[in-house]
Amino acid sequence: MAVIAVVDYDMGNLHSVCKGLERAGATPKITDSAREMELADAVLLPGVGAFDPAVQHLRSRGLEQPIKAAISSGKPFLGICLGLQILFESSEEGHEPGLGIIKGKVRRFRPEPGITIPHMGWNQLEFTQPKCLLWEYLAPHPWVYFVHSFYVDPLDTTVRAATVTHGSQSITAAVARDNLVAVQFHPEKSSNIGLQILSNFVAQVREEIAA
């Protein structure tokens, strides 16, 4: 069975993510060990909270290089919510440098009439990489669950795998590049659609194991 290392750095609801992975047929392993991340079949980086404490916690636990090593090794990697944002170079939320794995910045939503900040609740995805493995078996424009006040702005727009519209702003909802995928929404809170997305990730991991 696919073993997925769920990175523990005190910034996320690990229980709900792990339950989602178990329902998708994987074996989640909560860890802050570089060795366990290296031995796992895939790595999942969750995250809820603020940018600066997140990267500070990662660095204080010596997890920055293991995360970069996991991604460069080619094994499947999934970031969720804050776990997407800290892959970028910097954030308007704080002053700490991000991991810089994806070029670009995390930006604050612009206030405008009629929109709520944080962007909270259900919204529809617009696929920009419709053949991305995460989207298999999904109908166009599926509804998923968001909770965030900041959004990622990649320099290379081709890494966008999906966008979402909030007010007049169309923002990146997911990125995909090679073995790395990361989403701004919460699959573990997105009902059957979210379970299918996690199942698609687990299926990708199984394919890598079998290859």
Helix (H) or strand (E) holding 88: strand 88-91
| Residue 184 and residue 152 in contact, taking contact as beta carbons nearer than 8 Å | yes
Cα gap 201→195, rounded to integer Å: 10
Torsion of CA 47, 107, 58, 32, to 10 degrees: 30
CB 24 within 8 Å of CB 206: no
Degrees to nearest 5, angle at CA 87 with 122 and 106: 60
207: annotated active-site residue = no
For residue 118, is the peptide bond before it cis, meaning its omega torsion is within 30 degrees of 0? Answer: yes
Catalytic, 188? Answer: yes
**Residue among 57, 119, 166, 186 flagged as catalytic:** 186
Other Cβ atoms within 10 Å of 78 Cβ, number: 28
The verdict on whether 112 is a catalytic residue reads: no
> CA-to-CA distance for 35 and 14, rounded, in angstroms?
19
What is the distance between the alpha carbons of residues 82 and 183, in angstroms, rounded to a whole number?
Answer: 9
From 18, 81, 119, 166, the catalytic residue: 81
Task: Give the active site residues.
Answer: 81, 186, 188
